[in-house]
Amino acid sequence: MDLLNSLTQKSNAERVLELERREKGSYIEGDFEGSATGYWVRLNRDGSGIVSYNKKEYKTKPIGFTSLPRGVEVELSHANGVYYSKF
């Protein structure tokens, strides 16, 4: 039971910290930190890009516009709750 109580306390403390960060609006966590190499999937009608990374598709704001075939390596980055793709 000690382990369960310890893990519950830790989980509650982490949840409180996350709620405080969200309340301040200063931190939005992504699935990864920094940049990663993803693979271009397509450009949506609304101008957003779809990039595949780690078996998941991300809706991105493309930086620069060019015609790319599916599967081309692109840089996938996260900042303030927005994913960006760069060619």
Contact 62, 68 (CB under 8 A): no
Q: Phi first, then psi: what are they for 35, rounded to 5°?
A: -120, 155
Q: Can you give the pTM of this predicted structure? A: 0.66
54 & 78 share domain: yes
Q: How far is the C-alpha of 18 from the C-alpha of 29, rounded, in Å?
A: 10
Please report the pLDDT score of residue 36 as a whole number: 93
How far apart (Å, rounded) are the C-alpha atoms in residues 29 and 39? 21
Count structural domains, the chain.
Answer: 2
Closest CA to 87 of 73, 50, 44: 73
Q: What is the pLDDT along the chain (87 residues), one digit of tens a residue?
A: 687 777 777 777 777 776 676 677 656 678 887 899 999 999 999 989 999 999 999 999 998 777 788 999 999 998 877 888 998
* Whole-number Å distance between alpha carbons of 10 and 13: 5
- Domain span at 13: 1-30
Reported as a single tens digit per residue, the pLDDT across 16-40 is: 776 676 677 656 678 887 899 999 9
CATH code of 60's domain: 2.40.50
Q: Are residues 53 and 79 in the same domain?
A: yes
Q: How far are the Cα atoms of 35, 79, 87 from residue 82, in angstroms, in the given order?
A: 12, 5, 17
pLDDT at 27: 60
